[in-house]
């Protein structure tokens, strides 16, 4: 029996990530406390409010636990999850995890009335690169550092990036019925690390 993939369940749209993994037949489990990480094969940080995530991660001890977990295991973050995993956030003093070298800007497109849906191009999906990008009060990736590579674009902007074991995107694949990004994370990160 394959190990379960963890989904950070402190707040946010974690149930929609669970739905995507369920559709793919990938076993999964919510992570609310450090001990929930035991025997998981990786961790997805969902959409939600990054300030709430960081606040509760500090109080539950998950912050240090995830930092240790990330030395060996893969992580994926969508929107707020990206903010939590990034090294630098423009104009904000947030104690993020710094697990992927990039600078991001929160709510970069504006407020909710500027949220939108538009096609993005995902490079690893060579033959059919178009993916429905749902951007909700979305952040922007301003610059990539170190070994971080761009994997997806909205027009000319980078909206998806990776390093050795971390995959992040500024949009929400879990809000669509398209499970290709979850499958990509599972096959190219979880099953290979």
Binding site for other proteins (CB under 8 A): 9-16, 32, 47-49, 51-52, 55-56, 59, 79-80, 92, 106-107, 110-113, 115-117, 134, 136-137, 172, 175
**Is 182 an annotated catalytic residue?**
no
17, 28, 172, 182: the catalytic one is: 172
88: tokens are 């630098």
DSSP-assigned beta bridge partners for residue 44: 7, 76
Nearest CA to 151 out of 118, 108, 96, 102 is that of: 102
17, 28, 174, 182: the catalytic one is: 174
**Is 128 an annotated catalytic residue?**
no
Q: How far is the CB of 115 from other proteins (least distance, A)?
A: 5
Q: How far is the CB of 154 from other proteins (least distance, A)?
A: 15
Q: How far is the CB of 52 from other proteins (least distance, A)?
A: 5
Give residue 170's Cα distance to chain centre: 8
- 114 vs 164, which CB is nearer to other proteins? 114
Nearest CA to 6 out of 37, 48, 46 is that of: 37
116-155 exposure pattern, b = at least 16 Cβ within 10 A, e = fewer:
eeeebbbeeeeeeeebebbbbbbbbbbebeeebeebbbbe
Nearest CA to 14 out of 186, 190, 174, 183 is that of: 174
Distances (CA, A) of 41 to 27, 29, 62, 65: 10, 10, 16, 14
Q: How far is the CB of 112 from other proteins (least distance, A)?
A: 4
- 159 vs 190, which CB is nearer to other proteins? 159
28, 58, 72, 79: the catalytic one is: 79
- 108 vs 150, which CB is nearer to other proteins? 108
Residue 157 to residue 188: CA distance in whole angstroms = 23
**Is 17 an annotated catalytic residue?**
no
- 49 vs 101, which CB is nearer to other proteins? 49
- 13 vs 190, which CB is nearer to other proteins? 13
Q: How far is the CB of 177 from other proteins (least distance, A)?
A: 11
Write out the catalytic residue numbers. 79, 172, 174
């Amino acid at each position: 029996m394959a190990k379960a993939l963890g989904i950070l369940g402190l707040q946010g749209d974690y149930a929609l990530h669970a739905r995507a993994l369920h559709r793919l037949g990938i076993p999964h489990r919510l992570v609310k406390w450090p001990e929930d990480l035991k025997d998981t094969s990786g961790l997805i940080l969902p959409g939600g409010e990054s300030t709430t995530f960081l606040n509760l991660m500090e109080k539950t001890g998950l912050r240090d636990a995830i930092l240790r977990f990330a030395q060996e295991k893969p992580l994926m973050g969508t929107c707020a999850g990206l903010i939590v995993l990034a090294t630098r956030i423009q104009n904000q003093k947030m104690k993020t995890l710094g697990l992927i070298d990039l600078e991001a800007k929160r709510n970069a497109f504006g407020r909710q009335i500027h949220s939108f849906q538009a096609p993005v191009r995902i490079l690893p999906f060579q033959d059919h690169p178009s993916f429905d990008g749902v951007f909700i009060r979305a952040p922007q990736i301003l610059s990539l550092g170190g070994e971080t590579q761009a994997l997806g674009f909205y027009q000319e902007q980078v909206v998806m990036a990776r390093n050795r074991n971390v995959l992040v995107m500024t949009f929400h694949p879990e809000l669509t019925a398209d499970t290709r990004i979850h499958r990509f994370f599972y096959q190219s990160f979880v099953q290979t690390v």
